[in-house]
């Protein structure tokens, strides 16, 4: 019978291998970053599961690891910047895969990190579709800029043709992402709730759910921090610096930008908040970021409470 023990395992993931360190006995082992390697890792861990298996996201190399082991191990994905700062705080200068795996295990134990919610089985599919969409968005911007500079009839015609195709491809991907999300009843319901907010359309709701699958399970501060739109205060003694935003998931911020602009015009509550901030002398960028934060926190609240947004009329 499987039981959980108070132990931590750190896993440093690279393209070809997994470097694993077990904190309780200092054991180290290396496995291939493949299905057979994942099976060997589970056998190495044994029937008694550790309280946490800590790893960092590594571009395209951790997706298969997540998908294969999320249902079997208490996985915890940590921010690489936080892991690096933890390592530096210990005075560790060595930078090797083995040392990194050890530091991840130590970090998990020191902070008593809790396992993440299981990753959806179709997460790799959604990631691939989203990556293709992001590439096409860049193509669209490039082609539009190119069109502004072109003067010859032929080059203009060819660029317009490519631009029409890119726009059509983006629309097709939007539909595919939406269909994939709606294969899960809970996500289909979440899409409806998020889209009920005045200012958030179908595409924006889809992108929010893709980029923040944890929505509905987060605290307010965590929501803003994950998106990188939480104001970071700077002060020391009597000195006060300007607050700023940093880090987070840029695609999520991008998905919120246009909805925030629309909300400042057509969502009465958020329009009033925006105008109050502007009247108080806040720069437009600061006020708009606050609206983005408000939209995301509101979306998280609606999904958590399973209710649609209702406009309060005087």
Token output for 58 = 């590594």
pLDDT at 274: 92
pLDDT of residue 237: 46
* Tens digit of each residue's pLDDT (9 = 90 or more) over 236-249: 444 344 544 445 67
* Ordered strands of the 17-22 beta sheet: 28-32, 17-22, 3-13, 48-55, 75-77
pLDDT tens digit sequence for 277-294: 999 998 888 899 889 889
Q: What is the pLDDT of residues 174-218, one digit of tens each?
A: 999 999 999 999 999 999 999 999 889 999 999 999 888 888 888
Instruction: Write the pLDDT tens digit of every residue in 5-22.
Output: 889 999 999 999 999 999
Task: Determine which helix (DSSP H) or strand (DSSP E) holds 49, and give its type and residue range.
Answer: strand 48-55
Per-residue pLDDT averaged across 150-176, rounded?
96
pLDDT at 26 over 90: yes
Flag whether pLDDT at 255 surpasses 90. Answer: no
**What percentage of the chain exceeds 90 in pLDDT?**
50
Domain segments of the chain as ranges:
3-110, 123-183, 209-305
The tokens of 33 are what? 């970053």
Q: What pLDDT, in 10s, does the model give residues 81-138?
A: 888 888 888 877 667 889 999 999 999 999 988 887 776 778 888 888 998 999 999 9
Q: How many Cβ atoms sit within 10 Å of the Cβ of residue 1?
A: 4
Collapsing DSSP to helix, strand or coil, 245 comes out as coil
pTM above 0.85, yes or no: no
Residue 312 has a pLDDT of 64
Q: For residue 57, name the pLDDT band (cuts at 50, 70, 90).
A: confident
Whole-number Å distance between alpha carbons of 1 and 278 = 61
> Residue 267 has what pLDDT?
86
What is the rounded distance in angstroms from the CA atom of residue 86 to the CA atom of residue 64?
Answer: 26
From 118, 35, 31, select the one nearest 70 (Cα to Cα): 118
Structure tokens at 13: 């993931």
What superfamily in CATH does domain 3-110 come from?
ATPase, nucleotide binding domain (3.30.420.40)
Our CA angle for 25, 27, 32, nearest 5°, is 150
- pLDDT, one tens digit per residue, over 67-97 is 888 888 899 988 888 888 888 888 776 678 8
Q: How far is CA 73 from CA 165, 189, 260, in A?
A: 43, 28, 39
């Amino acid at each position: 019978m499987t039981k959980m023990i108070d132990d931590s395992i750190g896993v440093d993931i690279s393209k070809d291998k997994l470097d694993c360190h077990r904190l309780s006995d200092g054991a180290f082992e290396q496995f291939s970053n493949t299905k057979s390697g994942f099976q060997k890792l589970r056998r190495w861990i044994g029937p008694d599961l550790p309280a946490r298996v800590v790893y960092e996201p590594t571009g395209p190399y951790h997706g298969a690891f997540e998908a294969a082991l999320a249902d079997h191990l208490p996985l915890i994905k940590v921010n690489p910047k936080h892991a690096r700062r933890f390592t530096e705080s210990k005075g560790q200068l060595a930078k090797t895969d083995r040392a990194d795996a050890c530091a991840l295990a130590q970090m998990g134990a020191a902070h008593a990190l809790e396992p993440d919610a299981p990753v959806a089985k179709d997460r790799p599919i959604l990631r691939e579709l989203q990556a293709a969409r992001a590439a096409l968005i860049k193509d669209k911007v490039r082609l539009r800029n190119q069109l502004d500079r072109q003067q010859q009839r032929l080059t203009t015609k060819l660029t317009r043709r490519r631009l029409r195709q890119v726009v059509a491809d983006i629309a097709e991907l939007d539909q595919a992402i939406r269909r994939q999300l709606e294969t899960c009843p809970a996500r289909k319901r979440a899409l409806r709730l998020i889209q009920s907010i005045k200012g958030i359309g179908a595409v924006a709701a889809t992108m929010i759910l893709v980029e923040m699958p944890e929505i509905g399970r987060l605290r307010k501060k965590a929501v803003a921090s994950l998106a990188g739109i939480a104001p970071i205060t700077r002060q020391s003694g009597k000195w006060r610096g300007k607050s700023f935003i940093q880090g987070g998931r840029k695609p999520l911020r991008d998905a919120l930008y246009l909805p925030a602009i629309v909300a400042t015009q057509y969502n009465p509550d958020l329009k009033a908040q925006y105008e109050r901030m502007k009247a108080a002398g806040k720069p437009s960028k600061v006020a708009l970021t606050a609206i983005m934060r408000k939209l995301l926190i509101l979306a998280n609240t609606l999904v958590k409470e399973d209710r649609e947004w209702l406009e309060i009329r005087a």
